[in-house]
Structure 1
């Protein structure tokens, strides 16, 4: 169990920790010299078999960024208020930040009670009760504490333990994610990092990735909450001995993640709340400092509905100068440009860049629905909400939730979401776009009865959806038999192009240039036959409609016989593993550009699929043609 201390500078946070644990959390020489906490301090003790960890955060306003780094969502807040000082500026700011970070349980320690008379003590207690009544601490107990008199310490620990024992136990639902606050190299230990386990279940031997560098590391040793262990759970304070990376290449603000969830972004949307006492209006493109776990970056804030003032709650887009290793549902804190005040904060509800204007009504409506699902951790509802707008990639959507493939697929309901080639689209959106394309193709066939169909770009230009969604619907509809595809042209499955008259003599001449290992381009054929380029293009289109040739690229045509030969080459290359463009080029004895054109055609008709620099077979050539 981890307890985050918060409160104004010199209100006795570190003294309480030392009295309870025997450990001085002010570990830095400068901290001990100045008598204030600058960086995070940690100390541990056992109480009736319960392991307690205390996170001592800085109280001075100059070190608020370090205070934010020490807070995790499921921690218990111990707010320390000195009886001889009362509610002070950093008391208010700390409580505001804890609330913005969604802490839900806490205790108030009224320290230094030995320094005030009973009447004054009662006045301070009333002041504290009034202060916390509209915060997450509204039901928190106030425990009077005096370090010199050793008063109230046992009661304080009992109160904290009692609250946490009645709290809901958190099971690890997401993949591993740990925020690094220190990296160092003790003699003989190699690389060691410390930080909070935000998500997942960590074990010795796990392989993780540092998103900023992409470097993979292996966990050699775990110290969880001050004790060596084989595993660590969500909320544990961990020290990890790592192999695979030098300590000089790991920094505060870095993260360790499941390699399947190596996700970062500079842009995201937040359900944002401005603090009640912030004195200025938040305008479009306001410069800010953003804090996320142990990470800090400058950036800009863009209100989506209207300018925001004190106490307002609204959606904002945030653009950072550096990439954040985030997940949906994460909390962020935003401070003003000179870092003198906290503006507010909130929950990340979307990491998908807008494909339309930021303030478009439909986008704001979708974001409002998504906000509700994210706040409830309703992954299935959020998936369906996102997929109603556009086609999305399974991997990217899973990464945005910090869920690897096996965890993410448990949230998919195929009655509501269509799945094709590692992409998702809601069934409602699929039907809607499919009907729009059906009407377009019906009109197209009436206007162009001799053409075999329309290209993807022609269809896309007539629609109001993004091209990836159009491609998804076209491919899905071809597989289900509603549409057909031939030479990259889509048609209704019931459509048969009116066979045009074609020049048989010219076809025989063209055949000499296309029924070869590497067909010539249409421009080269036109020069060889001394025919104007446009005239030849019109005749070639007639050959395609007559199913004599197949248009593989805008400038090159093939016979079906030659394409079947190349499909056999692909089958042989992909027998044991995915293959590269160079391997296909060498096996087919074609030039690189001609080879790429053929492979892209095979991708288009769903015979192959490109995965980064390699291709793999996902269908059969005979069926797709």
Structure 2
């Protein structure tokens, strides 16, 4: 791994920025107010090359409790943390809170750095070290190495550098195969270049000219330029502190907490399912819809917490819940988060996202809990099946994005072999969903056939309307699938049960013969549907049946046999061959009708692209 991100944490004025400056030669306090007040307010960034050649990207975070939201924005995405504790003060309130925060962020490696050792005698220093060891006993930090330094004299810095080499020698590498994603922690404008955003590239490889999207706004952007540790590069890799110069977006359209990623590679959501834990020191009890602040990536959002595994949660509780946000965020499964109260402001918990696009749960606590446990701990195969069940017509890329890990098509092939899912036109649907859809279609068709025994089927648009499903295009895809399996029949734009055939009674057959005879006898002096049926319901039904089988209707509800229509076209074609043009009077006379009905037929020919107008006449359309 070429670059590892190391972050600082600790109480205000415990020497975080001074340590970074002594180590790297770079002052990460860049704001005038930071210089004036002597405290870090915003995030600071710099780099350091270890003797073994490995590059460290260093994130220096503020320690003051008023700026913990800035600390959280920078802490997400770091691989290792330096917990800074001043020897002259020991563990302080923000030390404890920063430790709580770090425990929720999934950081792999830790090192405790005892600073300002030249300000205390040996005996006091040993008491502070004993206090630290006692405090971290039984926590995620138990056994963490403590390095003693003084940033003024640089005493102990050789030991610090050696421990940093050891600390970062076995960091789990980030994925270069996933699509690139970066949580934005700073936004600014550079004259002549435009909008620049910075953050830690969480996953993937980013290149100049790449097409990306700023989420949750959905703004399409392009990478104009890339920098890693203030050097222009053609490519940035997961784990590197990266500055991206974006085109097609103004600086005021982007803010800290947004995410820049490949199109459709993250989930924009205002509802997430989570596994949580609560700090052991809180005195709060939280029930349904408890209002708090959620920190995920570099985002800070007001949210409401809904415990599902508990009626109320209190100090030390662990379990499952759902978080509802006031505004949308862009996240993936497995992202870590921190929870803080709104007033007074304090860290009370955190956890991991197990469903970034959670559904609204029905009031069935046992089923809700079972679903959450499955999302959290089931095998990939089971989670994939559950996801497809809840998200019909999912693509492979959407499934991979939901799992937030590399998956193989073989995992989906197994589910196909088990007949749990189906792959139809490059989309996956669950067998239960298809079965449910099939039964809905068959019920609608059965009811329609019962009421319309002489109609071949229901118009497809009417069927889709009755289904009242959101996936209209995919519904048509499933209709084709059901037709291929002989569950339904598709006849042009009509849908019927596969085993259905319209059938006339003996009386209706006689009525059909009489109507057909009248239509043919009238020749090209057409009769209307009303003239033929005299508004008698039984006759109307028979005529509707005939219009599905060998008869057609012209504007004005005039009826003719399809064979008559065919012969009229043949007459028109013959006249054109003889004269090189088709004139209305000639056509009228050739079929023995009035100008009105001849024109009606010619206009129908035009609509079908059989003929086309040329002045007052027509010619055959050779561009069919």
Bin the TM-score by the shorter chain. 0.7 to 0.9
Counterparts of 1:364 and 1:466 in 2: how far apart (Å)?
28
User: Who is 2:398 aligned against?
Assistant: 397
Q: How do residues 223-622 of structure 1 correspond to structure 2 at under 5 angstroms?
A: 223-261=227-265, 263-305=267-309, 306-338=311-343, 340-354=345-359, 357=362, 359=364, 361-373=366-378, 378=380, 380-389=381-390, 391-394=392-395, 397-398=398-399, 400-401=401-402, 412-413=412-413, 414-415=416-417, 416-427=420-431, 429=432, 433=436, 450=453, 476-485=481-490, 489=495, 491=497, 493-494=498-499, 496=501, 499=504, 502=508, 503-504=511-512, 531=535, 535=537, 539=541, 543=545
Q: Is the 8 A contact 2:453 2:502 kept in 1?
A: yes
Q: Is the 8 A contact 2:184 2:256 kept in 1?
A: yes
**Once the 2 structures are TM-superposed, how far is the Cα of residue 536 of structure 1 from its aligned partner?**
8.1
Secondary structure, counterpart of 2:184 in structure 1: strand
Counterparts of 1:260 and 1:511 in 2: how far apart (Å)?
59
**Once the 2 structures are TM-superposed, how far is the Cα of residue 150 of structure 1 from its aligned partner?**
2.0
**Once the 2 structures are TM-superposed, how far is the Cα of residue 108 of structure 1 from its aligned partner?**
0.8
TM-score by length of 2: 0.74
Closer/same/farther in 2, CA of residues 247 and 130 from structure 1, 3 Å limit: same
Give the unaligned 5+ runs of structure 1: 513-523, 551-555, 566-586, 591-625
**If you compute each CA radius of gyration, which structure gives the higher value, 1 or 2?**
2
Q: Is the 8 A contact 1:209 1:259 kept in 2?
A: yes
TM-score by length of 1: 0.74
Tell me the alpha carbon deviations over residues 548-584 of structure 1, each in whole angstroms, 9 at most, x when there is no partner.
799xxxxx9x99989xx9xxxxxxxxxxxxxxxxxxx
Question: How many residues get paired?
Answer: 542
Tell me the alpha carbon deviations over residues 246-274 of structure 1, each in whole angstroms, 9 at most, x when there is no partner.
33333222221112436412222122222
Q: Is the 8 A contact 2:400 2:407 kept in 1?
A: no
**Once the 2 structures are TM-superposed, how far is the Cα of residue 63 of structure 1 from its aligned partner?**
1.0
User: Who is 1:25 aligned against?
Assistant: 28
Q: Does 1:36 align with 2:44?
A: no
Counterparts of 2:17 and 2:88 in 1: how far apart (Å)?
17
Q: Is the 8 A contact 1:289 1:339 kept in 2?
A: no
* RMSD of aligned residue pairs (Cα, Å): 4.6
Secondary structure, counterpart of 1:228 in structure 2: strand
**Once the 2 structures are TM-superposed, how far is the Cα of residue 450 of structure 1 from its aligned partner?**
4.9
Q: Is the 8 A contact 1:548 1:559 kept in 2?
A: no
Secondary structure, counterpart of 1:267 in structure 2: strand
Closer/same/farther in 2, CA of residues 288 and 122 from structure 1, 3 Å limit: same
In structure 2, which of residues 200, 206, 212 is the aligned counterpart of residue 202 of structure 1?
206
Tell me the alpha carbon deviations over residues 425-472 of structure 1, each in whole angstroms, 9 at most, x when there is no partner.
234x36864896799799989989958789999999999x99989887
In structure 1, which of residues 98, 103, 108 is the aligned counterpart of residue 102 of structure 2?
98
Closer/same/farther in 2, CA of residues 495 and 294 from structure 1, 3 Å limit: same
Closer/same/farther in 2, CA of residues 485 and 294 from structure 1, 3 Å limit: same
**Once the 2 structures are TM-superposed, how far is the Cα of residue 300 of structure 1 from its aligned partner?**
1.8
Give the unaligned 5+ runs of structure 2: 521-527, 567-604, 609-624
Closer/same/farther in 2, CA of residues 545 and 275 from structure 1, 3 Å limit: farther
Closer/same/farther in 2, CA of residues 309 and 22 from structure 1, 3 Å limit: same
Q: Is the 8 A contact 2:394 2:429 kept in 1?
A: no
**Once the 2 structures are TM-superposed, how far is the Cα of residue 323 of structure 1 from its aligned partner?**
1.3
**Once the 2 structures are TM-superposed, how far is the Cα of residue 221 of structure 1 from its aligned partner?**
1.9
User: Who is 1:179 aligned against?
Assistant: 183
Closer/same/farther in 2, CA of residues 183 and 430 from structure 1, 3 Å limit: closer
